[in-house]
Amino acid sequence: VPEKFATLGLTYDDVLLLPGASDMAPDQIDTSSYISKNVRVNIPLLSAAMDKVTEARMAIAMARQGGAGVLHRNLSIADQANQVDLVKRSESGMVTDPITVHPDATLLEANDLCAKFRISGVPVTDAAGKLLGIVTNRDMAFEPDRTRQVREVMTPMPLVTGKVGISGVDAMELLRRHKIEKLPLVDGHGILKGLITVKDFVKAEKYPNAAKDREGRLLVGAAVGVAGDAYERAQALVEAGVDFIVVDTAHGHSRLVGDMVAKIKSNSSVDVIGGNIATRDGAQALIDAGVDGIKVGVGPGSICTTRVVAGIGVPQVTAIYEASLAAKAAGVPVIGDGGLQYSGDIAKALVAGADTVMLGSLLAGCEESPGELLFINGKQFKSYRGMGSLAAMQTRGERKSFSKDRYFQEGVASDEKLVPEGIEGQVPYRGPLSAVVHQLTGGLRQSMFYVGGRTVAELQDNGRFVRITSAGLKESHPHDIQMTVEAPNYSRK
Ligand code: RVP
């Protein structure tokens, strides 16, 4: 019988990592880890399945940096599957949705397009998207009459084209052999599906650490729920090529979650992650249901009010540790989800037993997150909200919420009856993801050096905590000084 009062719950601000004996050079550090049994990433970071954090653009950026994004599910099945498709087709340098021009457009219009998007040429397609030719700067340069139609000067089909899914090596070989700069990709019906350019290969070299699947496409995950057509959603995502599915709820220790995990697992071969839980028993229940990964976190999120509204939760370091006791024995990776405020919290999560961490607020301010830049008093912000906030759960005009079953409120008849477990707000704009991830992984590499762990596994084995008091926390942050210059990896909350 468990005791009425369980152990003392600790979180990130309650602990620090002890410095340990270290004899490594910084370039020997390997931050790769596992999201789930079969999905490996090069940095242990995931972007949260939230509608202000992860859509295709963020997922592409995360995978390029070596981590992965989990696409949120507050959108229709078709839209979410399309997002998976966008990530999978983006590859290391393919343009999935190229700018095109209609054959009846004038040269002036085509030229304006090239100038606007800073490109040197555009595929010509009809209304159905069928590739008819290509028009480049060179076709237009010697044509003084700008009112002529594109169809009169374009290089018409047959062009050198590639099939959708062509490998980078094969594409490069085609570009080289035909001495061309652009390779349109078409499907079996001649419909334009993408464009590979020489310029994009330079980009591929820019992301040497990208996290990719066996075919060299960027990794991506996607969230599903448990209610309504959640299973059909999972099937559509699998069909679109998703690498892992997260059965994503606020209470993963519920039979519905275990059943959904088992159902998806029985009919597909992608990894299935279950969550969220915050206890050893919760982790064990998911393991028994057959999960490939466990997501831990009840209430730690920056936008989350579950702990106040329902009085439920476990401080995150303890939650991760408890869950990992069951998970390690079963060989199932653990994701520490929510509550991270600084790069130092990543290593703390890993030492507690996580294999990767999931970030919401730390990434919501990036350029690649969905949503517009807000200007308030001359400062730049982006909006951020919990998936359990009223705004994310309510119906707005035509737009319904697809994700309120995360809080098991799919049956709530009207918006006034919803019980939110999250809030809405804004976070400072942080610029491109690459710079943010550089600081986060840079901090992690420092942690690994201090602890004396070359790999994530060594960090987990060698890391030890010291518990601190509020005086210790005060000493940890800058003190007795007025900060005048903003650091790229530190701000007072
Ligand atoms: P944070 O990184 O602290 O912003 O937390 C992000 C996490 O918070 C998400 O990955 C999710 O598990 C959780 N979340 C999302 N919405 C809500 C809510 O409305 N309560 N919580």
Residue nearest to atom 7 of ligand 1 (CA): 338
**Are residues 278 and 298 in contact, defined by beta-carbon separation less than 8 angstroms?**
yes
Distances 72 to 20, 209, 246, 278 between C-alpha atoms, Å: 39, 24, 10, 21
Pairing of strands 131-136, 244-248: unpaired
Q: Exactly one of 89, 233, 304, 445 is catalytic; which is it? A: 304
339 lines ligand 1 (CB under 6 A): yes
Q: Give me the pLDDT at residue 283, please.
A: 98
Give the total residue count for the chain. 493
470 alpha carbon to ligand 1 midpoint, in Å? 25
Residue nearest to atom 17 of ligand 1 (CA): 386
Q: Looking at domain 96-197, which of 3.40.50.720, 3.40.50.1820, 3.10.580.10, 3.40.50.2300 is its CATH number? A: 3.10.580.10
List the binding residues for K(+).
Answer: 299, 301, 304, 475-477
- Beta-carbon count within 10 A of 158 CB: 8
Report the atom number in ligand 1 closest to the C-alpha of 360.
2
List the binding residues.
Answer: 248-250, 297-299, 301-302, 304, 337-339, 360-361, 384-388, 421, 475-477
442 alpha carbon to ligand 1 midpoint, in Å? 24
Backbone angles phi, psi at 453, to 5 degrees: -135, 115
d(CA 327, CA 440): 25
- Compute the Cα dihedral for 413, 426, 66, 165 and give only its sign: positive
Q: Give me the pLDDT at residue 138, please.
A: 84
Q: Give me the pLDDT at residue 166, please.
A: 84
Type of residue numbered 27: D
Report the atom number in ligand 1 closest to the C-alpha of 341.
3
401 lines ligand 1 (CB under 6 A): no
Q: Is the pLDDT of residue 467 over 70?
A: yes
106 alpha carbon to ligand 1 midpoint, in Å? 50
Q: Give me the pLDDT at residue 203, please.
A: 62
Q: Give me the pLDDT at residue 143, please.
A: 85
d(CA 457, CA 68): 20
Is 366 tagged catalytic? no
pLDDT digits (tens, 9 = 90+) for 272-317: 999 999 999 999 999 999 999 999 999 999 999 999 999 999 999 9
d(CA 94, CA 167): 10
Is 304 tagged catalytic? yes
d(CA 346, CA 308): 25
**Are residues 318 and 312 in contact, defined by beta-carbon separation less than 8 angstroms?**
no
d(CA 249, CA 227): 10
Q: Does domain 12-92+210-476 have CATH number 3.40.50.80?
A: no
d(CA 385, CA 394): 13
Report the atom number in ligand 1 closest to the C-alpha of 339.
3
Residue nearest to atom 2 of ligand 1 (CA): 360
Query: For the residues of 277-293, what is the DSSP string, one character each?
Result: E-SHHHHHHHHHHT-SE
380 alpha carbon to ligand 1 midpoint, in Å? 22
pLDDT, average across residues 367-371: 95
364 alpha carbon to ligand 1 midpoint, in Å? 11
Q: Give me the pLDDT at residue 413, please.
A: 82
Stronger pLDDT, 438 or 181, i.e. the higher one: 438
338 lines ligand 1 (CB under 6 A): yes
Which runs of consecutive H residues, i.e. helices, occur in 268-400? 280-289, 306-309, 316-330, 344-352, 361-364, 390-393
**Are residues 318 and 7 in contact, defined by beta-carbon separation less than 8 angstroms?**
yes
Domain spans in the chain, listed from the N-terminal domain onward: 12-92+210-476, 96-197
List the binding residues for IMP.
Answer: 302, 337-339, 360-361, 384-388, 421
Q: Exactly one of 406, 430, 445, 454 is catalytic; which is it? A: 406
Residues 6+ apart with CB under 8 A from 482: none
pTM, rounded to two decimals: 0.84
pLDDT digits (tens, 9 = 90+) for 2-36: 688 878 999 999 999 999 998 888 789 999 999 99
Look at 208-217, 267-276, 302-311, 456-465 and tell me which has the smallest mean pLDDT: 208-217
Q: Give me the pLDDT at residue 93, please.
A: 59
pLDDT digits (tens, 9 = 90+) for 149-176: 999 999 999 999 999 888 778 888 899 9
Type of residue numbered 296: V
Give the angle 392-339-422 at the CA atoms, nearest 5°: 25
371 alpha carbon to ligand 1 midpoint, in Å? 17
Beta pairing partners, 425:
384
Report the atom number in ligand 1 closest to the C-alpha of 423.
19
361 lines ligand 1 (CB under 6 A): yes
Stronger pLDDT, 486 or 231, i.e. the higher one: 231
Backbone angles phi, psi at 186, to 5 degrees: -130, 155
